[in-house]
């Protein structure tokens, strides 16, 4: 049961950070609209949390090594972690100017990912800098790509 909970929380947190930041950065670059960014965060928190939870559910079922209870614990933990942590990105967007909110969200999200990666590395007796660096690098690549795509979309003039 402990492994199922850990799987769901780790997957949900990681997905919440990378997906939400990627979407926020892309929407900010493409539109500069606070309302669009808020709508994107809410969409991620609801639709993507359900999608990720179902993905974990099906993945765990397909392994054919988990009990029904373990599968549902992973499913619910994934949904809750993704939903709750994606929603935390709304707070700076509501209370701060959009550019400041984006910067605060980047710091918040990368901090979550760093702490989670550090905990994972320590639990597996890995070098923390290697695990943290790998995970943060992937997040930064996603953020950079979504920024470029958002800039490109903004040039289309729709």
d(CA 128, CA 120): 8
> Token pair of 76, please?
């619910």
Q: How far apart are CA 17 and CA 107, in angstroms?
A: 11
The pLDDT assigned to 79 comes to: 95
The pLDDT of residue 1 is 58
**Residues 73, 76: Cα–Cα separation, whole Å:** 5
pTM over 0.85: yes
Note the pLDDT of residue 66: 87
Q: Residue 72: count other Cβ atoms within 10 Å of its Cβ.
A: 15
**What contacts 27, CB < 8 A, 6 or more positions away?**
33, 36, 37, 40, 150
Q: At what angle do helices 98-123 and 2-31 cross, to 10 degrees?
A: 150
pLDDT tens for the chain, 158 residues: list them.
588 888 889 999 999 999 999 999 999 999 999 999 999 999 999 999 999 999 999 999 998 888 999 999 999 999 999 999 999 999 999 999 999 999 999 999 999 999 999 999 999 999 999 999 999 999 999 999 999 999 999 999 77
């Amino acid at each position: 049961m402990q492994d199922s909970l850990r799987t769901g929380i780790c997957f949900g947190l990681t997905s919440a950070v990378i997906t939400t930041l990627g979407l926020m950065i892309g929407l900010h670059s493409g539109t500069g609209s606070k309302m669009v960014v808020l709508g994107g965060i809410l969409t991620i928190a609801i639709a993507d949390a359900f999608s990720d939870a179902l993905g974990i559910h099906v993945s765990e079922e397909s392994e054919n090594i988990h009990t029904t209870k373990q599968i549902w614990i992973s499913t619910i933990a994934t949904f809750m972690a993704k939903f709750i942590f994606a929603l935390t990105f709304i707070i700076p967007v509501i209370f701060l100017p959009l550019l400041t909110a984006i910067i605060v969200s980047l710091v918040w999200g990368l901090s979550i990912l760093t702490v989670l990666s550090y905990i994972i590395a320590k639990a597996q007796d890995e070098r923390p800098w290697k695990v943290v660096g790998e995970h943060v690098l992937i997040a930064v690549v996603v953020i950079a790509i979504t920024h470029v795509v958002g800039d490109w979309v903004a040039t289309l003039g729709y």
